Structure 1
């Protein structure tokens, strides 16, 4: 249980750091040029976003613990890559199909989501038995 809690904390923190780097720095100009598509910063619900992120981390770990066997770094990274694609493809390209975001934003979301999940995969591969 202790290792699971450590994994939850590490993944949650790492995903927040990645989000700050990707969305706050790397994609800042893209978001500014498409500001009409997003809520104003004052209306963004960061508390809800963090709650959703925490729930996602817990579910990601729970699925790994219950369905992935044997538990090792290779299987954790493989699992994380698949989940990253499962989440990242619709996040980027389903959104692109109905909302006028630039194609580079769709690709950026896909790559950053897969990268975030790969980082999570390393943590669970090292911590979860």
Structure 2
């Protein structure tokens, strides 16, 4: 495993994921969240706990790239698309449907979370494919 590429790819993926998450949750879904405000913590509470979301997002990014690196096949961007789609559905389907089944969120929120999750994680898979190369692949290109 190329540790330097793993760390760099993980940090880039964390930053991109945070930016996409902000765009989705604070811009696209803000109206849906406002309409269901009684379900969520007050903003002051969420702001105090934001560090938990950042830490979990950072750990997630490192694990995401680690799993990608362990299955790396060197097939380029399509490997990232495939990985992102698989992880996106694997992660987003049970999260969105499970939350819909256990909390009174709207179908719009559940569907939005699923679609966003698949798109977001597919983009992150593409980034992983573009940014991560094992040490042997990096050395082979230099030769």
Is the TM-score greater than 0.5?
yes
Question: Quick check: 52-61 or 114-123, which moved more?
Answer: 114-123
- The answer as to whether partners of 2:5 and 2:132 remain within 8 angstroms in 1 is yes
- Write out aligned runs for 1:7-26 (5 A): 7-26=9-28
What TM-score comes out, normalization by structure 2 length?
0.85
Contact between 1:11 and 1:57, CA under 8 Å: does it hold in 2?
Answer: yes
Unpaired stretches in structure 1, ≥5 consecutive residues:
none
> Could you tell me how far 1:98 is from its partner in structure 2?
1.1
Alignment of 1:43-82 (within 5 A): 43-44=45-46, 45-82=49-86
| Superposed displacement of residue 116, structure 1 | 1.2
CA contact (8 A) 1:11 1:119 kept: no
CA contact (8 A) 1:71 1:128 kept: no
1:117 aligns with 2:121: yes
Aligned residue number for residue 86 of structure 1: 90
**Would you say the 8 A contact 2:76–2:129 is kept in 1?**
yes
- Structure whose alpha-carbon radius of gyration is higher: 2
CA RMSD of aligned residues (A): 1.2
Task: Identify the range of structure 1 (62-71 vs 52-61) with the bigger mean alpha-carbon deviation.
Answer: 62-71
